[in-house]
Chain A
Amino acid sequence: MKLPTKNNYIFTMALVLLLVLPYPALASTPTEQVKEKADKVLTILNDPALKNNKEQRRNMVTNVVEDMIDWQEVGRRALAIHWRKRTPAERTEFVDLFRDLLKRTYSDKLDLYAGESIIYDSEKIDGNRAVVKTRMINKQKGEEASIEYRLIKKNELWLGYDIVIEGISAVNNYRVQFNEVITSSSYESLIRKMKNREFKIRESSKSTKGSKK
């Protein structure tokens, strides 16, 4: 027996709702969370209206990405052994400085975007940590780069704490740099350097893009 069309419609809606509703309640997988953010970023980057307004584009992307990163964890890992010697106030200062540095350098990289797409390869969950392996593909140039997101679970949310591009871990790279500066001079000089850098880059981006030190 054939159902009336209206009933059919309601039935379909119910089915759709049934399929859709439970999901927000469940914790989504790391890949889903990365994908959700990455898709948002790609939509912004592919928006032709924003192509000429790079400043706005950068800000929009930073806003999307910012809250999916555990900045405290990033800072702690980057300072590593030196983290413990810092007072809470110093830690907050450092995390803020480092966040600004990362936000700026990675949002600068957005300008190099040229229609790349992302492929999600695999995901590995290990307790409250997860690794999502992806590849970024540039069809035009036929280039491919492996990008690995490392995430930590905080309040049912997966937050990023490291990004590994072509085997090169960003946090690890900074850790070695910070360690070098701290051991060869001092923590204070590292903070000074970070503040200086901030200032210099702001200056140089105002005029032409600085290429010299």
Chain B
Amino acid sequence: MKNQRFLLFLLLVIVCSVFFPFGTGYTQTTSPRDETIQSSEPPSASDALEAEEIKEMKGKEEEETPREISPEQDENLIKKGEQDKGKEEGEEDEEDYEYLEEEEMETIADPLKPFNHLMFDFNDKLYFYLLKPVAQAYKAVLPEPVRVSIRNFISNITTPARLLNCILQGKAEKAGIEYSRFLVNTVAGGLGFFDVAKKYCNLQKQDEDFGQTLGFYGIKEGFYIVWPVFGPSTLRDTVGSAGDFFADPFVYINPTTDIGITKVNSDIRSGINTTNVVNETSLTIGTYEEFKESSIDPYVSMRTAYFEMRRKKIKE
């Protein structure tokens, strides 16, 4: 068992060393990230605004003169089979192109769609028929402050993964915050049951994971994958989750209790994970239902949301 884990860890190290050049130093490793942001990231809100503004201004300047249509736009026009372009106002045309651009940016690779859709439906059923009833029963037994404390506790013991990823991304300030949070909450917050660091020291939890670290170093998202039970992910984030698995201290702590007849392996990690899932669900009951009701195509909606959320987190 121990050997197996060590081998897995070794494998991961090899994978990691292939993915990012450890030896080349920090200044060099940051450059690919900047490149990807320019090339593959969709423009941020303000960027889009700026671009739009510039376009609109240009549109006004060129209102009288016939506007130039770049080959790219021309292609799009042909693609759309657009006939009444003359009828439309210049400004609207410009903005439509902006949408086009945005849409091209948002194109998400989803070659596994049939599988993913199946898994999405599976997870959906899992939520309504298993997770939700369990979480509701759990919610009925434990009052909210207790559940929030459990969330805090789990969040505190999973600090190593976040701290490690802050360090791997060279984010000293964030790493410092995570480190201080761990100390303050463990000592003053009763082993992490109370988030005193946030309440009194205004130290916010820094949500960094291995998937984000990979993204930070310019690893592309790859395609979309919906895992049974675990939900939406990408190729990169799946590798990331494996990394986070090894940053979990409870992977290495596994006390064995002798109960006489046989030795029982108390798997703390899966216990914590299960508690975490049920606890989180109990605190967010209703969110998924609302999400589903609000969407025309829940599968597509979740996919878009997942990518947007991850891209935002990597940017931070």
Residues of chain A touching chain B, judged by Cβ–Cβ distance below 8 Å, are: 77, 80-81, 83-85, 101, 105-106, 108-109, 111-112, 124, 126-127, 129, 131, 140-142, 144, 148, 150, 164, 166-169, 172-181, 190, 193-194, 197, 201, 209, 211-213
**A127 contacts which of B56, B128, B283 (Cβ < 8 Å)?**
B56
When the two chains form their complex, are residues A77 and B99 in contact, meaning their CB atoms are under 8 A apart?
A: yes
When the two chains form their complex, are residues B46 and A81 in contact, meaning their CB atoms are under 8 A apart?
A: no
Q: Which residues of A contact B80 (CB under 8 A)?
A: 81, 85
**B45 contacts which of A101, A164, A177, A211 (Cβ < 8 Å)?**
A164
**A175 contacts which of B49, B103, B283, B286 (Cβ < 8 Å)?**
B103
CA gap between A85 and B293 in the complex, in Å: 28
CA gap between A176 and B50 in the complex, in Å: 22
**B106 contacts which of A167, A172, A201 (Cβ < 8 Å)?**
A172
**B53 contacts which of A126, A173, A175 (Cβ < 8 Å)?**
A126
> B216-224, B230-238, B260-268, B303-311: which one contacts chain A?
B303-311
CA gap between A213 and B298 in the complex, in Å: 10
Identify 30 residue pairs between A and B in the complex whose beta-carbon atoms are under 8 Å apart, listed by A's number.
Answer: A80-B103, A81-B80, A83-B96, A84-B92, A84-B96, A106-B294, A108-B293, A109-B290, A112-B286, A126-B53, A131-B46, A141-B283, A150-B45, A168-B305, A168-B309, A169-B45, A169-B308, A172-B102, A173-B305, A174-B301, A175-B99, A176-B304, A177-B296, A177-B304, A178-B296, A179-B103, A181-B297, A194-B296, A197-B296, A209-B289
**A129 contacts which of B53, B283, B300, B313 (Cβ < 8 Å)?**
B53
Least Cβ–Cβ distance between A117 and chain B, in angstroms: 15
Q: Which residues of B contact A212 (CB under 8 A)?
A: 128
When the two chains form their complex, are residues A142 and B198 in contact, meaning their CB atoms are under 8 A apart?
A: yes
CA gap between A120 and B312 in the complex, in Å: 19
CA gap between A211 and B288 in the complex, in Å: 10
When the two chains form their complex, are residues A131 and B293 in contact, meaning their CB atoms are under 8 A apart?
A: no
Least Cβ–Cβ distance between B114 and chain A, in angstroms: 14
Q: Residue of A at shortest CB range from B291?
A: A105
- Decide if B159 is an interface residue (CB 8 Å cutoff): no
When the two chains form their complex, are residues A81 and B53 in contact, meaning their CB atoms are under 8 A apart?
A: no
When the two chains form their complex, are residues A131 and B49 in contact, meaning their CB atoms are under 8 A apart?
A: yes
Q: Residue of B at shortest CB range from A130?
A: B49
Q: Which residues of A contact B148 (CB under 8 A)?
A: 140-142
When the two chains form their complex, are residues A127 and B144 in contact, meaning their CB atoms are under 8 A apart?
A: no
Q: Which residues of A contact B152 (CB under 8 A)?
A: 142
Could you tell me which residues of chain B, from 196 to 213, have a CB within 8 Å of some CB in chain A? Answer: 198-199, 204
Least Cβ–Cβ distance between A162 and chain B, in angstroms: 8
- Decide if B277 is an interface residue (CB 8 Å cutoff): no
When the two chains form their complex, are residues B297 and A180 in contact, meaning their CB atoms are under 8 A apart?
A: yes
When the two chains form their complex, are residues B296 and A190 in contact, meaning their CB atoms are under 8 A apart?
A: yes
When the two chains form their complex, are residues B53 and A167 in contact, meaning their CB atoms are under 8 A apart?
A: no
- Decide if B100 is an interface residue (CB 8 Å cutoff): yes
The 5 closest A-B pairs by CB, nearest first: A167-B312, A105-B294, A80-B99, A176-B304, A177-B297
